[in-house]
Structure 1
Amino acid sequence: MARHQYDPNNMTIDTVQQICPLTKAQDVIAGRWKIIILSHLHEHGVIRFNDLLRMIPGVSKGILTRQLRELEEDGAVHREVYKVVPPKVEYSLTEQGKQFLPVLEAMRVWGKTFLNS
């Protein structure tokens, strides 16, 4: 799935100023598993790839890899590769990723209202 692209030349300045930050935020967290990934990284701090794979039932190795790479490209997740055999890769939240935590908590609270209704 392609990430959202927009053409600022086809929008008014007011529209670009209002939508661009929301569009960027949506691009960063868009993906079936990204919010769950961010939640696990927040809860556990540093997680190895295979541990994260086990924590998220239903996600394939390829999809998890792709979504982690996108989160890394967007600066929300740090990937640490250790040059050992077998290879060891760990993931953690960056400072920018930690800035999403209040939004994540608000989403958790909001979701509880639907579970309890």
Structure 2
Amino acid sequence: YDTSDYDGRFWMDHSSFKPMKISRRKRCCSCKDLIKINTDTIEFYYYRSTTSDVEERIYGETKPLASSFMCEECSGLYLALEEVGYGCLDIEQPMKDYVAEYNDMLEDEKEWEKEWEKEHD
């Protein structure tokens, strides 16, 4: 891949639900609401590909960056979507939009099943 096609920033993993223990409030990476300190969140660990030999010697192939946090509501939606196999989620997009898209997909599937049953009865 060519890192010039994007900023090279990616997240590789996330924590379990835990209180956000930092000195000031942060915005939810998904809905952009402010998260209060000590509120349960999921922390997403960001990295980027190293851009020089010096960085690579210090950090390896990936350099850690500042984490992002997802509020409790969006985290619950994210985990539910992940559990049902609705993959390739961009954590910087509103999880409510993904839920609406998933529900639309389920409705379309139910309509298709009804039509199929009518044709094959």
**Shorter-chain TM-score range:** under 0.3
Compare the two structures and name the one with the higher helix fraction.
1
Which of the pair has more CA radius of gyration? Answer: 2
Compare the two structures and name the one with the higher strand fraction.
2
TM-score by length of 2: 0.24
